[in-house]
Amino acid sequence: MKIKKPRGTRDFLPEEMEKRREIEKKMREIAELYGYREVQTPTFEHLELFTLKSGEAIVEEIYAFKDKSGRDLALRPELTAPVMRMFANECSVMPRPLRFYYFSNCFRYERPQKGRYREFWQFGVELIGSPSYLADAEVIMLAYDIMENLNLDFELHIGHVGLLRRLLKGVDADKASKIMRLIDKKDVEGLEDCLSTIGLKDMEDKIYALIDLVGGREVIEEARELVPDFDFDYIDKLCDCLDSVGVDYKLDFGIARGLDYYTGVVFEAYAEGLGAQNQICGGGSYRLAHLFGVDVPSTGFALGFDRIAEICELGLGRKKLAVIVSFKGLENEAFKIARIVRQSGMQVVVDVMQRSLKKQLSYANDIKADFAIIVGEEELKENKIAIKDLKSGEQKIVEMKGMIDFLRSLD
């Protein structure tokens, strides 16, 4: 009987896992250089955590279930809400700002397609406690540095949801939220129908003009004309800060991010090589902790790890691999030598199939080992060992005490 993996999930073989771990390692290193520290939350939470944040409709999009005691639970569909729940429960009296990062799997019940899975991984950060544009600047710089250090071909877009909200300030809150979600999804047809139904045809030109504003800092002046009662000082100072450190970006006032808890600056990054599902980063400033009894400003982002892994060409720093090849009866000696080599930090495998010397060497070539350490009875009597470079075919007998130095000298 063959059991297939669940729809929307994937198996990762060793080469893919090595690549993913290398990318993850780079992300962690950069986040920690900024002073961010790792946190971890449960794989499942109370369902209320997500309906409180996103509404009851979210139930159709996630893995929600009852446990054996009848409690409503859900596999986490994202990590911002769990981290803010953790902050409210455990960290609200800690010195601010708090700098957290995380890397975990998430789950959404949606139709699988290229770049979109039911189980997926997110790397993200949350900077909790600062209302300043400097917090937005730091988080954007961090996301930019991670993507740049991974050698990704990406474009960073920065906007501010306050502009659209100011245009819609006289509109019913539910209707305004619907308009924001349609803008976020780039659903032009749906937006036209919605504006017509609500009776906002007179505002249509301004809304379309604003969401079409994409470019350098010159678009700020055009935005001022469309939304004259908005304070653009915050955006100007943010741009000054990003320009001073060489962050390359476009202003894009059509970014809506679709969720009501975003309050100000929002940003997204798009990468080449992914087709329609090309967004690899999304974030911005928000207020979510008030849902848990603590009102505090926050800024964060999440990187779509799976999409990044698909396009990232990061070189892997593979360790040299040695295979211990032994004659029959010398298996214990082979394990002893392997232990010595491993203690020096080198990667070693030992034959556990009781194969002939010829088949052991054949296996070493099959797994692309760099060299073979051949354990022979005559050499052992003289406290020596044979080492064969499997790339060049050269073989040399060396003193046991000089084995590690010799192995390290092989390129």
- At the topology level, CATH places domain 14-311 in BirA Bifunctional Protein; domain 2 (3.30.930)
Residue 125 φ then ψ, to 5° = -135, 155
Query: How high is the pLDDT of residue 411?
Result: 63
**Nearest-5° angle of CA 261, CA 263, CA 266?**
100
Query: Which residues lie below 8 Å from residue 111, measured CB to CB, with a gap of 6+?
Result: none
CA Rg value for the chain: 28
SS3 82: helix
- Cβ atoms of 255 and 268 within 8 Å: the answer is yes
CATH of 321-409, one of 1.10.10.10, 3.20.20.70, 3.40.50.800, 1.10.238.10: 3.40.50.800
Measured between alpha carbons, how far is 264 from 136 in angstroms, rounded to an integer? 9
Q: Which of 168, 225, 227, 223 is nearest to 200 (CA)?
A: 168
Q: What is the pTM of this model?
A: 0.91
Stretches where the chain sits below pLDDT 50 are none
Same-fold call for 14-311 versus 321-409: no
Residue 45 CB: number of other CB atoms within 10 A? 17
Residue 201, pLDDT score: 66
Say what the pLDDT of residue 210 is: 87
pLDDT, the chain, mean: 92
Predicted confidence at residue 259, as pLDDT, reads 63
Q: Could you tell me the maximum CA-CA distance found in the chain, to the nearest angstrom?
A: 95
- Sorted by where each begins, the domain ranges of the chain are 14-311, 321-409
Instruction: Please give the angle made by the CA atoms of 236, 240 and 244, to the nearest 5 degrees.
Output: 170
Which ranges of 126-172 would DSSP assign to H, the alpha helix?
Answer: 133-149, 161-167
Q: What is the pLDDT of residue 291?
A: 81
- Position 216 scores a pLDDT of 96
